[in-house]
Amino acid sequence: MSGVIADVMGGAGRLRLNRPGALHALTLEMVHAMTDALLAWRDDAAVKAVLIDHAEGRGFCAGGDIAFLRESALAGRAEGRRFFHDEYRLNHLLFSYAKPVVAFMDGITMGGGVGISQPARFRIATENTRFAMPETGIGLFPDVGGGWYLSRLPGRVGAYLALTGARLDGAECLSVGLATHYLPAASLEAVKAAIADAPGEIEAILDAHAVAPPAAKLEAQRADIDRLFASDDYEAILAALAADGSAWAAATLKTLQAKSPQTCKVALRQLATSATLPDFAANMVMEYRIASRVLTRPDFIEGVRAVIVDKDHAPRWDPATPQGVTPALLDSIFAPLEQEWTPL
């Protein structure tokens, strides 16, 4: 079992994540299964569109196989780096896919789940959607194209999400453009069947089933986010939050103080750099450089230990302070590789 059910339903190819015990977190085998199916459908005239959803259990996709990546790093093996390499190829394949892709973000959509949903032309949020890029809490970074997507959100929302790992509901995803439509979860199977029957009418089908979402709670904080997260300097953001005096700023500062200083500084540089890049492939070259270095640095191994293995939620970050994350360290993380990432 690859953890993916790939089949054709009417005029649509359908990729169903099917690893319910791990909230459909992606393994390398799942990445390869999705890539193989997309390559086969790319030149199949009978397949007019692609649907990405999850099968049984809660979904959509909780991320990548973090425990596997940690074990690979601890053992000094190359599998972790290969996982990123091939996952990023899948992300780019989806981003550049000529046929319309519809991703159903019905449930938890984090990390790797963001990577396979955000490239889609149509991104469906529901009342069950819980979207986040929580990597600062485990010493990783918001990858799988996170630099590209987050840096292009309105105002400073992307920097806020990258640093805090804040979770957004479906209405909030729609309000900032992470979702294109908001549908009731109960309508999704009918919508998928309709798209399979008429894959040339996707937008009309989605528009017909879309409903007005609840008020987006994030909107109440948008002005504060834009003001307090205005800088690409992490210490300046921390100082602005500390000086603000509001309860929201104090709570946000406390959240950031628990995150990996290295990851927070990496994420800010990542987003600022991505905003200047010419295309998504260039973004993935940058993110593969970061991933190759961060995977073997202390914070990733320690962060996964604290959050996923021992669950003591008391990581000992190294460097322990933002000041300890020097420009030279960041330069080394972003430096070119001997073997750079390339798209399929």
Q: What is the pLDDT of residues 60-118, one digit of tens each?
A: 999 998 888 888 888 877 889 999 999 999 999 999 999 999 999 999 999 999 999 99
Selection from 236, 270, 265, 240 nearest residue 252 by Cα: 240
Q: Does the pTM exceed 0.85?
A: yes
Q: What is the pLDDT of residues 270-297, one digit of tens each?
A: 999 999 999 999 999 999 999 999 998 9
Token pair, residue 127, equals 């009342």
Residue among 3, 10, 59, 64 flagged as catalytic = 64
DSSP-H helix ranges across the chain: 28-42, 66-75, 79-95, 112-117, 146-151, 157-164, 170-176, 188-197, 202-209, 222-228, 234-244, 247-257, 261-274, 280-294, 298-304, 327-334
Q: Span 314-334, mean pLDDT?
A: 98
User: Is pLDDT at 9 greater than 90 in this prediction?
Assistant: yes
Q: What is the pLDDT of residue 1?
A: 62
Q: Span 5-29, mean pLDDT?
A: 96
Q: Which domains does the chain have, with CATH numbers?
A: 1-344 (3.90.226.10)
112 is catalytic: yes
User: Is pLDDT at 143 greater than 70 in this prediction?
Assistant: yes
User: Is pLDDT at 12 greater than 90 in this prediction?
Assistant: yes
User: Is pLDDT at 33 greater than 80 in this prediction?
Assistant: yes
Residue among 3, 112, 158, 165 flagged as catalytic = 112
Percent of the chain surpassing pLDDT 90:
93
Q: What is the pLDDT of residue 70?
A: 87
Q: Give the mean pLDDT of the chain.
A: 96
> Taking a C-beta distance cutoff of 8 angstroms, is the pair 318, 298 a contact?
yes
Residue among 87, 143, 299, 302 flagged as catalytic = 143
Q: What is the pLDDT of residue 68?
A: 86
Residue among 53, 87, 135, 287 flagged as catalytic = 135
64 is catalytic: yes
101-105 sheet: strands from edge to edge: 4-9, 12-17, 49-54, 101-105, 122-125, 181-182
Q: Span 229-246, mean pLDDT?
A: 98
143 is catalytic: yes
Q: Span 128-152, mean pLDDT?
A: 97
